[in-house]
Amino acid sequence: MLLWRGMTRTKSLFGGHTMVFAGYREQKFIAYPIAPPDADGLQMLNWIAEIHADKILRREDWNREGKLDEFLPAYSDWHFSWADVPKIIRDADRVYEYPMIDRDPLPRWSFGRVTLLGDAAHPMYPIGANGASQAIRDGRALAQALAAGGTAAEGLAHYEQERREATNEIVLSNRQLGPEQVMQMAHERAPNGFEHIEDVISREELTTIAQRYRAVTWVTPAAGT
């Protein structure tokens, strides 16, 4: 997958406190507010345009500016009552291109007094904001392991034991789209649209998918932490 990201000052979506996901596996548009609405009722949105690519021709680079003509035509008819997606994309000051890359889980993080944390330890598809949240949890686990006493190497080994397998499972789970799989289900079951989501996906299915992903991504902290 290739992602193009930008920020656009535009009218608030659904009251200004909502994160929007639109599309399906091969093409998505995601947007969420990153500042309160201003006096004119406009709000800064962070948005992501995501399109399936047969292969990534350029090595990943987190500072490469994107070209509108490479992805905007795919969104030319994405005009909704709640947002004009092509206009949101065009109105961004800058657009950056990011490949959606993960790596196979690592068998080891720590080497003597050196260890890995966050994306360096477990780069994963950006599903459920787990790149950031799991890095935060790594940091807490690492600090607690080092504060518990013993040598630095023992602390790092304890940290890795607590976090590596848990995050490796998330990396693999995110390849299956996590909670975003409901978008693909809706696309496959109702390609011409629908009025009510319950007519396409039962409430029980939605709950099961959410709970299953939560069970993978949330490991109960140890007692006293």
Distances (CA, A) of 36 to 41, 82, 83, 117: 9, 18, 18, 32
Place of tokens 């890359």: 101
pLDDT digits over 30-43, tens only? 999 999 988 888 99
Boundaries of domain holding 198:
103-225
Residues 37, 127: one domain?
A: no
- Same domain assignment for residues 119 and 198: yes
Q: What is the mean pLDDT of residues 116-140?
A: 90
pTM for the full model? 0.80
Q: Are residues 51 and 132 in the same domain?
A: no
Q: Are residues 83 and 194 in the same domain?
A: no
User: What's residue 214's pLDDT?
Assistant: 86
Q: Which residues contact 36 (CB under 8 A, 6 or more apart)?
A: 16, 43
What's the pLDDT tens digit per position in 70-91? 999 999 999 999 999 999 999 9
- Choosing from 64, 79, 99, the residue where a domain stops is 99
Output the average pLDDT for the chain: 90
Residues 6+ away with beta carbon under 8 Å from 50: 1, 2, 3, 4, 23, 27, 28, 29, 30, 100
Angle at alpha carbon of residue 97, lines to 94 and 99, rounded to 5°: 160
Q: What is the pLDDT of residues 148-196, one digit of tens each?
A: 988 999 999 999 999 999 999 999 988 888 888 899 999 999 999 888 9
Q: How many domains does the chain have?
A: 2
Residues 78 and 117 occupy one common structural domain: no
Q: What percent of the chain has pLDDT over 90?
A: 66
Q: For position 21, which CATH number holds? A: 3.30.9.30
Q: Which residue has the higher pLDDT, 224 or 196?
A: 196
Helix axes 130-147 and 203-217, enclosed angle (nearest 10): 40
